[in-house]
Amino acid sequence: MYEYKLDKFYPQVHDFGDGYHDPDEEAVVLDRDLLSRVKKLKRRYRNYNEFCDAMKAYQEYTNYLIDKYGGKKRFRFAYGTGQVTDFIPFKPELRDIKVNKKYIYEEAVPVDITEETDAYSQEMYDINHNNPDKVSIDFKIGAKLDYDVEHSLGKSAFDTVQELNIIESYWERHANRPRKLSKKTKKEQKRDMLRRQYADYISLTDRLNEREKAMFQITEPIEDRDKVIAYKGTMITNEQAVEIEIDDILRGYGIYLNKRNFSKKTRRVVRSKKKKSKKNNKLNKYLESFSEGISDYNSFEREMSELISTKIREKD
Amino acid sequence: MEHEKKFRSRIMELFSEDLLIKLENIQTDPRFVSNNDKFQHILFLLKDMDFIEIGAGTNRMAVLHDNYIFKIALDGYGVKDNWNEFNMSPELQPYVTKTYECNGIVLVAEYVNLINREEFLDSKEHIRTILDILSEDYLFADIGTIAKNFCNFGYRDDGTLVILDYGYIYPIDRKIMFCESCGGRLQWNEDYSALMCENCRSKYDPIKIKYRMEVDEDDYIYIDEEKAKGRIKNGKYQILIGGGNVNE
């Protein structure tokens, strides 16, 4: 424990009565014999008795690790974050040979029945591992105890590599074997063959599919709402043009729609149309007053040009 | 003879005075551009001490040792948050994590499992219940039920939901809970992320409301306790309790 010269570094404490201020528990000590036995564990065992002894050592060691790290969850966390510096052994397996098949397929895990074994295990097991022939084939998968212990350890990298090797060897074995042709594959093969023979070959299903597509094909072009078009001198979208047309038609009937219902751009176009129409009206009135009833601009222009030319002659 | 209870200090067991001086100097060292740089440097200082990096927040960082969280302040605000959490922890139990020790620079707290975003969204109603209880006596920030606050919640091994970052919880002073526009009372919104006036629906940040607590009692001008308005006079924020003419 450090001592501080400066008082400000001394902490204040709270006591919630949950053991924070209690000294650490005594460290769990590993038996040297157990460690040496665990280090000698093999991956696979031919002999069932040796496998039983190996499993016992493995289970004892896993219980030690769980105690040391304060529980399965904490051990998993420490393992996941790379804090576990202890030796992690391989899990022993029984070799898949004829003699051992009955134990493997029933997934029997040997457990020594002692006074401390719980009633569940005692009910489930009836072992005499010195006489493996008497082992009952009615064993269920492991003891509840063993299951928890086994599943508390994380997967080692070695296990992962082993699994990958197994998968790889499976595909090596099976990849080169000729595939058994099922009925489906035979049809597909036939179709492929026909396609190769007749380049234009189209199967009946393909033909029916194409016909169905053609029947329900939409030939009319679908209007693009957002397509920009030139409408009476301004660039607006199709949707806005429709709005303006509706407005024009309804105005013809004396119905004036509220401009708030239109989009901004539409409102601007309508406003500019009004201005233009106002402008046009002014120009028309001016022209009418000047031309004394001539409605045609071209004839008025002719008149004006004649007027100008007569005046020029007078000056001369 | 009374048996004296012996207290234990993990800060004194793990942090030497030199290390604490270094951590204190890092807070004000101008060579660090951001708190992220400070975080990386502190991790480097702690690398041989079996600390597990958990993460960094705005003003503090967290590391794990021996199943306890150590929150180290990265700046002055972090020191304030540490002290605030330490002071508030006993009275806010069991809604918050337990904080066992604090010296300002380092705070030791209970380790809880972090909640992920999906679990947080599923537990919104439960969290609202907790905040509803806390809102009666406390003003808080950053623990509302909006998605970005999910990292401020966790749960103990027994499944109890707790708030693990409560540097911004303060005992409430009802006198300051008023609207500056209309003098109406302030209430929490549905998410407990902001305060709203019950009359004009103006929104207020709880941290800004908290600053009103720092106004001296002398600057309070009482007129009518039912209404209140605020103004700034001579550069100081004053509170007019009861409205009145702001042009006085």
Question: Could you report the per-residue pLDDT of B146-205, keeping only the tens digit for each?
Answer: 767 778 888 887 778 888 888 888 887 776 777 777 777 888 888 888 888 888 888 888
Q: Who wins on pLDDT, B160 or A185?
A: B160
Q: Report the distance separating Cα A194 and Cα B100, nearest Å.
A: 81
Q: Report the distance separating Cα B156 and Cα B91, nearest Å.
A: 18
Comparing CA positions, the residue from A91, A92, A89, A88 lying closest to residue A47 is A92
Distance of alpha carbon A203 from the chain centroid: 37
**What pLDDT is stored for residue B55 in this prediction?**
86
The reply to whether residue A9 touches residue B67, judged by beta carbons under 8 angstroms, is no
Smallest Cβ–Cβ distance between B90 and the set A2, A14, A22 belongs to A14
Contact B232, B246 (CB under 8 A): no
Q: How confident is the model at residue A97 (pLDDT cuts 50, 70, 90)?
A: confident
Mean pLDDT, residues A168-176 taken together? 65
Q: How confident is the model at residue A283 (pLDDT cuts 50, 70, 90)?
A: low
Mean pLDDT, residues A35-61 taken together? 84
Mean pLDDT, residues B14-42 taken together? 89
CB count, 10 Å around CB of A169? 10
Nearest chain A residue to B99 by CA distance is A14
The reply to whether residue A2 touches residue B17, judged by beta carbons under 8 angstroms, is yes
Characterize A277-311 residue by residue with b for buried, 16 or more Cβ atoms within 10 angstroms of its Cβ, and e for exposed.
eeeeeeeeeeeeeebeeeeeeeebeeeeeeeeeee
Structure tokens, A312? 């020029």
Mean pLDDT of chain B: 79
Nearest chain A residue to B8 by CA distance is A21
Smallest Cβ–Cβ distance between B7 and the set A9, A15, A73 belongs to A15
Query: Sign of dihedral through CA atoms B175, B178, B180, B181?
Result: negative
Q: Report the distance separating Cα A78 and Cα A85, nearest Å.
A: 10
Tell me B37's DSSP state.
Answer: H
Q: Report the distance separating Cα A208 and Cα A35, nearest Å.
A: 73
Structure tokens, B211? 């600053």
Q: For A70, how many CA atoms within 13 A lie in the half-sphere containing its CB?
A: 9
Q: Any idea which of A184-193, B198-207, B232-241 has the lowest mean pLDDT?
A: B232-241
CA distances in angstroms from B35 to B78, B136, B142, B148, listed in the order given: 11, 34, 19, 20
Contact B138, B169 (CB under 8 A): yes
Q: Please tell me which of A264-268, B119-123, B221-225 the model is most confident about, judged by mean pLDDT.
A: B119-123
Q: Kindly tell me if the per-residue pLDDT of B245 is higher than 50.
A: no
Q: What is the pLDDT of residues B54-89, one digit of tens each?
A: 888 889 999 988 889 999 999 998 999 999 999 989
Mean pLDDT of chain A: 68
Which residues of chain B are at the A interface, by a Cβ-Cβ cutoff of 8 Å?
5-9, 11-13, 15-17, 20, 50, 52, 67-68, 86, 89-90, 93, 98-106, 108, 157
Contact A92, A41 (CB under 8 A): yes
A9 near B CB under 8 A? yes
